Structure 1
Amino acid sequence: MNQDYIKPDNWSILEEGFDVDRVESSESLFSLGNGAMGQRANFEEQYSGSTFQGSYIAGVYYPDKTKVGWWKNGYPEYFAKVLNAPNWIGINVLINGEALDLYKCKEVRDFRRELNMKEGWYDRSFTAVMPNDLEVSVKVTRFLSIERNELGAINYDVQVLNADATVVFEPYIDSGITNEDANWEEKFWEVQEVKTDEHKAFITSKTLKTEFFATVFMQSQMFKDGKVEEIEPSEVIFDEKISFRYTTEAKKGETVSLQKFAGYVTDMNHNREDLIFAAKNVLDKAVAAGYETILQEQKAAWAGIWEMADISIQGDVKAQQGIRFNIFQLNQTYLGEDARLNIGPKGFTGEKYGGSTYWDTEAYCIPFYMATKDQHVARNLLTYRYNQLDKAIENAKKLGFTNGAALYPMVTMNGEESHNEWEITFEEIHRNGAMVVAIKRYVDYTGDFSYIPEKGLEVMIAIARFWHQRANYSNQKNKYVILGVTGPNEYENNVNNNWYTNYIAKWCIDYCLESIARVKEQYAIDHDRVMSATSLSSEEMAAWKEVADKMYFPYSEEYQVYLQQDNFLDKEIIPVSDLSKTQRPINQKWSWDRILRSCYIKQADVLQGFYFFEDDFSKEELEKHFDFYEPLTVHESSLSPCVHSIQAAALDRMDQAYQFYLRTSRLDLDDYNNEVKEGCHITSMAGTWMSIVEGFGGMRIKEGKLFFAPKIPNGWESFSFKVNFRNQILKVNVAPGKTSFALEGTDSLEIMVNGKPLKVEPNNLVSI
């Protein structure tokens, strides 16, 4: 564990005491989002210390030109990245002419931050002695409105404790911003219009290349001891920045406050020529409602989210804080209403990974959104990929594939591949399989097979075509092989016959053929339409089947396990427990060459297949593979602990399952990988939810029914969660020796618990 300054609390993330070395980490941890925009926890006032500024707008990105030492044919031309958007939070504070800057203060005490997850707001307070010896008490509250998702609000209170003083607030908006991770130090925004109107300010900018138009806006109001103070501000307007200057005289101990409404409107949701009009409309409605009313709206909106999404843990505050932080950040990142949007691995908390869409969405996030929202949210995530099928076919074509074969991108904003590491972009092709796994999970969970004839089948056919062409026949093995790949374990590149890749390829083909047969039988019109659109013949399907039936899987008779790849046993097999802690994490301590030659596994690889395709293997087989591979796994991917937690629980190893759960749930809060200042691991947070629901709750879907095999970690008094299964909301409460089920609605539900059927009637608690 690398940090432990976050105070345990059931509903809040708390930091006490000011430490300049923690500022960037806390900027990530205390981030805010509302699905449409996000904001790192940067200070509103000036800060001359080390900081990572970050404001983000969902769906707005820039194609930063790929930077590689040696260009290879087929490389993506650019790396798509989320942009640091114009700054809306800025408020300079001057007291007797001296700028408030915590980095320069003589003393900072009683510093406290709180991210209140229950109600969706962020609060910061401190007392500071400034260089001019004025002692000030400051309290700032900020939130991004869920109900008004183009609006952010700030309340900034200042009290001068030891003298009368002149206090100046300078709220500003600034479009002269850059990205922390720019490849070429390029500017991404070009200002189009700078305008003020009756205490309102607007800057309209467009992104270069992609030409997204966004207007950042603000309006502020001054208060003294809680009463409105009518002050006519002076304006300072630059080419890329507008600030208003409010000056007031404050008596010793008097509280002066600034309330600021600000945010973004974009041409994703408004006509370009109407952006300033739309921004005025947002501000007028916000001012009419007032700060307190909008804050109450925020609390009610989050109460509604938690009503369905909460996981309650009794008897373990750190575990409780961890899961709620994960659920909170997932809901801040994506709320499911816009099929154009997806879930970036860092969400709105940082720029790493470009803010783009990875296979994490399909592999980890869809179960969370299906169970805690409703099926249309999960359908939107699937539709996102369906809408990008043409681009996936184009991506495959660039690599030499034909006949409508599709390779979904490793990283994307608009469907084009925009990842520029060879071993990932061209070799980590297993991501194609996750697209189909997500479709099957959706159908199994919702019972909505109609998605397949409507949209899913075309995706599945294009992916089956890719696997058919990517495999080649080995005369030596008399089997089909898949060469030159990287599996989920990115610490092995360019290997042959990664077991997980081969298995998911075979599975995709089999599931596609099975689905075609069912669509033909039940949806004849859709079947004929899809067959015609794809020109799919029975001969081609027979060729697919031969590849699936004759797929090669490397296996060790000595260990009685499937091998991660053909030559895995040529490595020196040394368990992680024998590796010095001074060598960890190896991705920060070792050369890439050394990592590639080692036996160490970044994340679940073979075990990822055992997780996805659990029903294909016995518990004894899982145990053998877990015992072989987990001791070699360094868990240096955020996606690793959750899979291992679920499998440890399935093997009744609850102490180990709990340790993995704690690691996945507190990965960022405790900064296990010493990188949280770059942003939080949003997509793995959905895996944390799965660790409890699928791991400890043992929830599975089999033959259209919910199955549970509940277990509880030692020391927990109970845990509970809700799932929306086929529009029936079931609450599950697990305590030592007793599990209870409660059903909302009007219809009964038959479930399976520890292999036995149980009928749950609405509004009638059943315990076993």
Structure 2
Amino acid sequence: MNQDYIKTDPWSIIEEGFNKELVKSSESLFSIGNGAMGQRANFEEEYTGETFQGSYIAGVYYPDKTRVGWWKNGYPEYFAKVLNAPNWIGIEILIGDELLDLNTCKSVNDFKRELNMREGWYQRSFTAQLQSGVEISVCTTRFLSLDIDEVGAIQYEITPLNQNVDITFCPYLDSGITNEDTNWDDKFWNTTNITSEGNQAFIEAHTMKTNFATCTFMEAKLLYKGSPIEISPNLKKGDTSVGLSYELAVEKGECFSIHKFGGYTVSRNHNESELVKAAKSTLQKAVTIGYEGLLQKQKEAWAQIWEMSDITIEGDVKAQQGIRFNIFQLNQTYLGKDSRLNIGPKGFTGEKYGGSTYWDTEAYCVPFYMATKNQEVAWSLLEYRYNHLEKAIENAKKLGFTNGAALYPMVTMNGEECHNEWEITFEEIHRNGAIAFAIYNYHRFTGDYSYIPKMGLEVLIGIARFWHQRVNFSEEKQQYVMLGVTGPNEYENNVNNNWYTNYLAKWCMDYAAEQVQKVKNEYPEDYKRIADKTNLTTVETEDWNKVTNNMYFPFSEKHQVFLQQDGFLDKEMIKVQDLDKSERPINQKWSWDRILRSPYIKQADVLQGFYFFEDHFSKVALEKHFDFYEPFTVHESSLSPCVHSIQAAKLGRMEQAYTFYLRTSRLDLDDYNKEVEEGLHITSMAGTWMSIVEGFGGMRVLDNQLHFTPRIPKQWDSYSFKINFRNQVITITVSEQKVSFEITGNQDLKIQVNEKPLMLTPGKVVQA
């Protein structure tokens, strides 16, 4: 089904009308999170139709034993599973003696969902006629508090429409939870204690193997006719669940509602023996503030986030809705408060891909967080990798590398590789380069060099050592080559001399050698500490340079382009436009063997290198490579359209840039890849932000200065965004007629606009 059912609105995601076939997709699209936990938009009440239950706690995972036909040296022992956590949102509802279940109601009318992105809440309303003939009106609102991030709140309101009726609310907790994504159908949770006290209930449970201890908690408050009432609950207790049942005779036309406060305390943040105590303290805070008070604080917290991170687009509501949805979901997933956390590809919206960290973070997310938060948030993401350096060295050692060579994992929770497809685990080693690039990018953007002598140089040395050992000298070519790799284009496995990987390896070794020299000259104490720790010598960095000065890069004289890999031109070069549409997407229609022999590119590969190292190549070279590779690109990775949008904009091809922008910004809303029910593409959402800021806005940092080359799609009247550049906030507004800049702070800032200098002065709007 083509999912074009989401209503166009600048600030909300809206669905109208109840369609059982869309329930799982909407559970993804209307997901909520607060950086510490998140949940799919499952119904609070019972639903016996097709659904994908999902609640998630940041940093809590299970090491699901790898399932392969045979073992290989260095193979990961497990695939880290993002765990479906105990469910705290459930409210069983009886209308008379009948269970409320939208799958079995006689009729469901006026059904509406809204995810209000401006204020950070999710609401669902409907009227229903039950089998008994009773008609009710329901409105339920929930949010996960940014103010107290261990707690969420639900307001569930029911009004009988055609008769008086007894209504029972039974809010419950359930730790008898399974994952949809599991290799061996293991039991992931062990429930250890269930207690209740008045209107509160608690389930203590821990994960198997990893032993994350959790307390899932709730407290209920009841209202009738808008005023608080007291009802003594009946306790319903099972082996893995606890419920508190409240019954009331409700008059026709009157509203009976429950405020349910719930959430998690976790041993990552509290002493394991004090989780219930911590839960009670959290509940006391939340209940004292109250539902309305917490909601008001939620609105204020989101207003503050939007103040900095919003991008406004005039004249194109679909584009406006798309970018705000992306920015909203990124902020729901990660807020930079905890350097132990990272940004999973599905965030808190699904289980697919496992793990919390891919190279997506460094390549796509770091720029977004640097510019819309502050450098401390970006620092936290870099610190995360430094904290995992020893594990990266262990990962490389398992594969036979020595001397402190570091291979960062493709997928990880704790620094240990946990991806179990060999062609990615062993071969998609370009992820190492993205981490080094993020260190460079952080310094380039923030001007803060301190990370490198403190932590980053050790990371760069480990990465450079890996590349130095990973290449080998070809007697045939008399150059250094790299064999048996997989580039970003995963539709080619086990290829030789993937250009992107070779270029990254050369750059990483050169950059590491430069930073070694800089730290040696300018931070001698740090240099001594690092050299002693890593046994680094001058001879070693000279050896890196010998390799980088003689690295092989496949090149086609005929086409005057770098080749994606040695054998790329041996393929049958049929362009994507000449493929029958019924064959698309090829990852769902073709065998893997056929895909691997085809010229089709899953995502930017050579062009990813041209994106990272744009200033290494001329615009003419970019155009030549873009024209050669884009026609073979099927964009079946969520990370692909944004890079092509940025490059099309640089080349002045605004219609193409706009098409790619719309695809990246509405990838999930319009379900381009026909898989949104599995969860959202969180990390690629940062690419949407880049499409506007770096693509249409043309923002770059060159020679320690901000540069802009603003362009505007013809579909837009204007657009505006803010960036935090070295603790000064700059607002850029672009229309067909003019470009204006405004800066906050107390210092002037010289920038370049269309290669001409422009001085920004606080308090003045300056036009370029």
Listed as ranges, the gaps of 5+ residues in structure 2 are none
Confirm or deny that 1:443 pairs with 2:454.
no
Match of 1:17 in 2: 17
Deviations 1:487-517 (A, max 9, x none): 0000000000000000000000000111111
| Alignment partner, residue 743 of structure 1 | 743
Aligned residues: percent identity?
Answer: 67
Residue equivalent to 1:636: 636
Alpha-carbon shift at residue 288 of structure 1 (Å): 1.1
Q: How does 1:439-518 map to 2 (within 5 A)?
A: 439-518=439-518
2:282: which partner in 1? 282
> What is the identity, as a one-letter code, of the residue corresponding to 1:180?
E
Report matched runs for 1:701-720 at 5 Å: 701-720=701-720
Asked whether 1:669 is paired with 2:669, we answer yes
Q: Who is 1:761 aligned against?
A: 761
Take 1:139 and 1:625, find their aligned partners in 2: how far apart are those partners? Answer: 54
Q: Distance in 1 between matches of 2:295 and 2:761?
A: 38
SS state at 2:656 partner: helix
The structural deviation recorded for 1:104 is 0.6
Q: Which residue of 2 aligns with 1:387?
A: 387
CA offsets per residue over residues 559-618 of structure 1, 9 Å max, x none? Answer: 000000000000000110011111111000000000000000000000000000000000
Q: C-alpha distance in 2, partners of 1:376/1:538? A: 33
Q: State whether structure 2 residue 34 is matched by structure 1 residue 34.
A: yes
| Secondary structure in 1 matching 2:353 | helix
d(CA) in 2 for partners of 1:146, 1:80:
27
Q: What is aligned with 1:50?
A: 50
TM-superposed CA distance for 1:352, in Å, is: 0.4
What per-residue deviation string (whole Å, max 9, x for no partner) do you get for residues 163-200 of structure 1? Answer: 11000001000010000101111111111211111211
1:594 aligned residue? 594
Q: Hey, what's the Cα distance between the residues in 2 that align with 1:525 and 1:580?
A: 63
8 Å CA contact retained: 2:355, 2:418:
no
Q: Distance in 2 between matches of 1:73 and 1:287?
A: 54
Partner of 2:699: 699
Task: Write the distance in 1 (CA, Å) between the matches of 2:222 and 2:376.
Answer: 43
Q: 2:418, 2:617 → 1: CA distance?
A: 36
Matched-pair contact (CA < 8 Å) for 2:17–2:111:
yes
Residue 3 (structure 1) shift:
1.3
2:361 is the alignment partner of 1:361:
yes
The alpha-carbon deviation at position 374 of structure 1 amounts to: 0.3
C-alpha distance in 2 between matches for 1:330 and 1:763: 31
State the match for 2:619 in structure 1.
619
Q: Aligned partners of 1:251 and 1:299: how far apart in 2?
A: 33
Distance 1:19 1:385 in 2: 44
Q: Distance in 1 between matches of 2:630 and 2:700?
A: 23
For residues 267-666 of structure 1, the aligned pairs below 5 Å read 267-666=267-666
Query: Structure 1, residues 745-767: CA drift from partner, whole Å, max 9, x if none?
Result: 11111110000110000011001
Measure the CA separation in 2 of the matches of 1:282 and 1:43.
24
Measured in 2, the distance between the counterparts of 1:534 and 1:182 equals 39
CA distance in 2, matches of 1:69, 1:655: 48
Select between 625-634 and 66-75 the one with higher mean Cα deviation. Answer: 66-75
Report deviation, 1:715: 2.3
State the partner residue of 1:157. 157
Deviation at 1:70, TM superposition (A): 2.2
Alpha-carbon separation, structure 2, partners of 1:23 and 1:87: 18
TM-score between both structures, scaled by the size of structure 2: 1.00
TM-score when normalising by structure 1: 1.00
Q: Distance in 1 between matches of 2:743 and 2:537?
A: 47
- One-letter amino acid of the structure 2 residue matched with residue 284 of structure 1: Q
Question: CA–CA distance in 2 between the matches of 1:588 and 1:134?
Answer: 45
For residues 332-366 of structure 1, the C-alpha deviation after alignment (integer angstroms, 9 at most, x for no partner) is 00000100000000000000011420000000000
Residue pair 2:34, 2:149 contacting (<8 A) in 1 also: yes
1:229 CA displacement? 1.5
Measure the CA separation in 2 of the matches of 1:2 and 1:169: 37
For the 8 Å contact 2:355–2:411, the answer to whether it is kept is no
Render the CA deviation track for 1:90-143: whole Å, top value 9, x for unaligned.
001110110000011111111000000000000000011111111111000000
| CA RMSD after TM alignment | 0.7
* Other structure's SS at 1:38 match: strand
Task: Output aligned runs, 1:217-256, within 5 Å.
Answer: 217-256=217-256
Q: CA–CA distance in 2 between the matches of 1:5 and 1:735?
A: 31
Tell me which amino acid in the other structure corresponds to 1:238.
Answer: G
Q: Per-residue displacement from partner, 1:5-45 (whole Å, max 9, x unpaired)?
A: 00000000000000000000000000000000001000000
Question: Given that residues 85 and 175 in structure 2 are in contact (C-alpha distance below 8 angstroms), is that contact kept between their aligned partners in structure 1?
Answer: yes
Compute the displacement of 1:269 (Å): 0.8
Letter in 1 for 2:75: Y
- Tell me the secondary structure at the aligned position of residue 211 of structure 1: coil
Give how far 1:737 is off.
2.8
Query: Quick one: distance in 2 between partners of 1:375 and 1:484?
Result: 37
Deviations 1:515-548 (A, max 9, x none): 1111111111111111111111112111111111
Aligned to 1:194: 194
Whole-Å Cα distance in 2 between the matches of residues 334 and 174 of structure 1? 26
Worse-matched range after superposition: 186-195 or 36-45: 186-195
SS at match of 1:353: coil
Runs of at least 4 residues off by over 4 Å: none
Distance (whole Å) between structure 1 residues aligned to residue 631 and residue 253 of structure 2 = 60
On the 8 A contact 1:81/1:356 being kept in 2, the answer is no
Whole-angstrom CA distance in 2 between matches of 1:668 and 1:355? 21
Q: Which amino acid aligns with 1:134?
A: V
Between 1:366-375 and 1:283-292, the stretch displaced more is: 283-292
Letter of the 1:103 counterpart:
N
Secondary structure of 2:393's aligned partner: helix
* Counterparts of residues 129-140 of structure 1 (less than 5 Å): 129-140=129-140
In 2, distance between residues paired with 1:538 and 1:721?
46
Q: Matches of 1:738 and 1:395 in 2, distance apart?
A: 52
CA distance, structure 2, for counterparts of residue 647 and residue 376 of structure 1: 29
Q: How far apart, in 2, do the equivalents of 1:135 and 1:355 lie?
A: 45
Q: Deviations over 1:309-336 (max 9, x none)?
A: 0000000000000000000000000000
Q: Deviations over 1:260-296 (max 9, x none)?
A: 0000000111111111000001111111111100000
How many angstroms apart in 2 are the aligned matches of 1:200 and 1:710? 56
Equivalents in 2 of 1:707, 1:211: separation in Å? 49
Q: Which residue identity does 1:412 align to in structure 2?
A: T
Matched, 1:60 2:60: yes
Equivalenced residues, count: 768
Structure 2 counterpart of 1:16, one-letter code: E
CA contact (8 A) 1:124 1:140 kept: yes
- Contact 1:33–1:144 at 8 Å: present in 2 too? yes
* Counterpart contact for 1:346–1:355, Cα < 8 Å: no
Amino acid in the other structure paired with 2:650: A
Identify the residue that residue 176 of structure 1 maps to in structure 2: 176
